[in-house]
Amino acid sequence: MAFNNRYDFVLLFDVKDGNPNGDPDAGNLPRVDAETGRGLVTDVSLKRKIRNFVGLVKGEQPPYEIYIKEKAVLNNQNKRAYIGINKAELLEGDNKKRKGGDAVDEARQWMCQNFYDVRTFGAVMSTGINCGQVRGPVQMTFARSVDPVVPQEHAITRMAVATEAEAEKQLGDNRTMGRKFTVPYGLYVAHGFVSSFLAKQTGFDENDLGLLWQSLIQMFDHDRSAARGEMATRGLYVFKHDSELGNAPAYRLFERIRPGLKDGAVVPRSFEDYQVNVNEDNMPSGVTLEIKA
């Protein structure tokens, strides 16, 4: 079912003794805004987790296939049946396919139907014509931590070496040193937007929206690794507009969700040190706040 509402959402998540998003420019240190000391998590990092979650729970089957995969998910090389439509003749002779015509539209629609990430975030498809793009309804921003974070470096040792040569060099001592980086604690805020106009273009429907909320709530539970530490969604505040265009500016709504340190807390080390003030007074008419997590 298509929906006729605009949605703006605030996602709160935290990390404890982990690296939520490494910076390849800084030797994989957690991303930090150098001017404010606040931690950053890129939009693409969060979208990656949504893709992985959906791939996991839906078993990579249409209509919930994931186009942009990580190796771990890709390794099932089984061929599966698609709900194909017969357009073989358009592939023959190179004039027709370059011009595209209705086959391009059809292929684009077909990709949207089968692939959750294509119809959610959009994708670029190569065609001879210029507008081979799908713009997805879901738009996400960089997440920032509420307070400055202090990335810490930890030296770690491994009681083995990788090669014979190294073992010989160490006379059998066989030890290597490594480094890992963590943030002791950080509470991050990301903003997101869902446009029903674009949703209609890609066929992103109410079920897909439900899956998006579910993935935002649960994605960190299925993304455990040595680097991440403990990450969890701490809040998902969804502003639902009665209309497609929306009933209030997004920034006026986001201002209503204010996470801050509790009185007396100086150095945040857990979610307990924070208090999330949610202002539901005088909500603009036509906007409802749904607290999903």
Partner 1 sequence: MKTYCLEVSGDFACFTRPEMKVERVSYDVMTPSSARAVFESILWKPAIRWYIEKIEVLKPIRWITVRRNEVGAVISMRNALEAMNKGTGCLGLNIEDERQQRAGLFLRDVVYRIHAYFELLPDAGQNNSIGKFLDMFERRAEKGQCINQPYLGCREFVCDFRLVNMDTKQIDREKLSTFEKMDLGFENQRDLGWMLYDMDYCDTADPKPKFFRAKLENGVLHVPSWNSEEVRG
Could you give the count of Cα atoms lying within 13 Å of 176 in the half-sphere of its Cβ? 10
Q: Cβ of residue 60: shortest distance to partner 1, in angstroms?
A: 8
140 binds partner 1 (CB under 8 A): yes
25 binds partner 1 (CB under 8 A): yes
* Sign of the torsion formed by the C-alpha atoms of 90, 92, 96 and 97: positive
Chain-centre distance for alpha carbon 82: 27
Among 11, 15, 50, 107, binds partner 1 (CB under 8 A): 107
Element (H, E) at 31: none
Stretch that binds partner 1, among 22-30, 157-165, 171-179, 268-276 (CB under 8 A): 22-30
Q: Cβ of residue 94: shortest distance to partner 1, in angstroms?
A: 10
- Return the structure tokens found at 221: 């539970």
Treating both helix axes as pointing N-terminal to C-terminal, what angle do 206-218 and 43-57 enclose, rounded to 10 degrees? 110
- Return the structure tokens found at 227: 């680097």
204 binds partner 1 (CB under 8 A): no
Nearer to partner 1, 18 or 246 (CB): 246
First to last CA, the chain: 24
Nearer to partner 1, 140 or 271 (CB): 140
216 binds partner 1 (CB under 8 A): no
Restricting to residues 31-50, name those near partner 1 by CB under 8 A: 31, 33-35, 40, 42-44
- Contact call for residues 223 and 215 (beta carbons, < 8 A): no
Nearer to partner 1, 52 or 182 (CB): 52
227 binds partner 1 (CB under 8 A): no
Find, among 9, 8, 12, the residue nearest to 189 by Cα: 12
63 binds partner 1 (CB under 8 A): no
81 binds partner 1 (CB under 8 A): yes
